[in-house]
Structure formats: structure tokens, C-alpha cells
Amino acid sequence: MKNYKKTCLQVAIDSPAAAGAGTQAKLISKHYKLLYLDSGKIYRLLAYLKIKNPKKFNYAFVSEKMKALKMSDLQSKRLLSDDVGSVASVIAKDIKIRKLAHNFQMECAYNPSKKYKGSIIDGRDITYNIMPEADFKFFITASAKTRALRRYKELKGLNKKISLNEVLKNIKKRDKSDYNRKVSPLKRTKDQYLISSENESKRSCFLKIKKIIDKKLTLNGNIQ
């Protein structure tokens, strides 16, 4: 396995589904000129491929897809549905699949192209598994009800036919699976800053995070 050395700014975010981590990660990436990877999209892409090609889906197939993976493969709107998210959380329990998805995340975390000042990744195991030495680790959360309402509005915006109740049920099921699985579960650790997005606007949540980052960067004399 390749030996990765940290040479750039790293921001790691873990969060349960629909807590607003992706929105915050995008805002942070723009502000600090960081490469952004939504690691959940890797598991969503595999879930999508499994739904489309159930017979072809095996470790060799996943390995081939992961070797050829490009950031642009993760941008499709088709990956956003709740069905894809639910299958993703099942796939994500498989240690062999996680190992195959590891390299791409490590390349993003440790080798962002020169045009970036570093990288930011959000997911479930980023703060303690993918970027254990990250300069900043955040755990962003909100109640299941608030998260369900946000996801429901998002899905409605994409013209997906689903009820709020169904979205809430899916979120609770995914939480249970993501927190309780044996391999790389979602968890709180002492070195994460806890950010509640419950009663916060996107902007106020971003400003809270920015304050934490700026304070440490200024203390360390880093140029922003």
C-alpha cells in the first residue's frame, strides 16, 4: 500500500445523513480553496451500479470501477435518490468494498492538485480513518426530523415522488446502520468539533465553522 504523507491543509467532516455536511463542505472548500470530495457519492455510485447491473456486481467489477473512478463520475443527479442512498448504506458495510474505495479517497485527501491549498472530505469515517491527522475535524448533526425535512425538500426539488414519512423512515434506518455497523461506523470522537445545524441557517453554520478554522490558522501563523 502507498505511504501517504500529509503536506497540505486537511479538513475532515463526519455526519449522519442530510445533516448539511455537504453544503458546509462545499462552502468551506470554496472559501479556503480546497479540493472537495463527498465520499458518500462513491458508495452511492456503487449502489447505483448494483441496482443497474445486479448480475455483474462483484468485487472484480467494483475493483475495476474504483480504479477508473474520476471525480466527474460522482456528479450525476441519479446518485441522489433515497433508494440509491439506502442501497449505499448496505454496500458500505462490506469491508472489501470499503478497501476498494479507499485509494480514491486517500488520493483526494493527500494529493490534491497544485491548484488547491488542501482538501476537504465529508462522510462517516473521514475524521478517524481517512484523515486521522486532519487539521480540522467536525461532526455535523441535527435531529432526524430536521434532517428528514431538509432531504424531503431536496428530493421534491428533484421531482422525486416520496413522502416526508418515508424519508424520515429511511433516515432512521440509515442512522441505525451507519452508527452500529462493525466496519468504519459513524462515531463521535474527542477531537471533533461538534456542530449542530438544527436551528442554523447555512450561512450561520458556515460562519461558526469558519471562526474555528480562522482562529487556529491565525494562531499557527498560516496564510489564508
CA-to-CA separations, 12 to 17, 99, 113, 169, in angstroms, rounded: 16, 19, 18, 27
Contact call for residue 40 and ligand C5P (CB under 6 A): yes
Q: Which is nearer to ligand C5P, 39 or 197 (CB)?
A: 39
Q: How far apart are the first and last CA of the chain?
A: 33
Contacts of 123 (CB under 8 A, 6+ apart): 13, 14, 38, 39, 40, 105, 130
Separation CA 147–CA 53 (nearest Å): 31
Amino acid at 120: I
Q: Which is nearer to ligand C5P, 81 or 118 (CB)?
A: 81
140 phi/psi in degrees, rounded to 5: -105, 130
Q: How far is the CB of 43 from ligand C5P (least distance, A)?
A: 4
* x/- letters, 43..82, toward ligand C5P (CB under 6 A): xx--------------------------------------
Q: Per CB under 6 A, which of residues 8..27 are in contact with ligand C5P? A: 17
Separation CA 135–CA 217 (nearest Å): 9
* x/- letters, 79..98, toward ligand C5P (CB under 6 A): ------x--xx--x------
Contact call for residue 112 and ligand C5P (CB under 6 A): no
Separation CA 19–CA 120 (nearest Å): 16
Q: How far is the CB of 150 from ligand C5P (least distance, A)?
A: 12
Nearest to 10 by CA among 105, 107, 106, 110: 110
Q: Please, what is the Cα angle at 181 between 180 and 187, to 5 degrees?
A: 60
- Answer for which of 45, 119, 123, 192 binds ligand C5P (CB under 6 A) is 123
Q: How far is the CB of 3 from ligand C5P (least distance, A)?
A: 22
Q: How far is the CB of 97 from ligand C5P (least distance, A)?
A: 9
* x/- letters, 165..184, toward ligand C5P (CB under 6 A): ---------x---x------
How many other CB atoms are there within 10 angstroms of residue 19's CB atom? 28
Total binding residues toward ligand C5P, as defined by CB under 6 A:
15
Q: Per CB under 6 A, which of residues 130..149 are in contact with ligand C5P? A: none
Residues in the site for ligand C5P, rule: CB under 6 A? 17, 39-40, 43-44, 85, 88-89, 92, 123-126, 174, 178
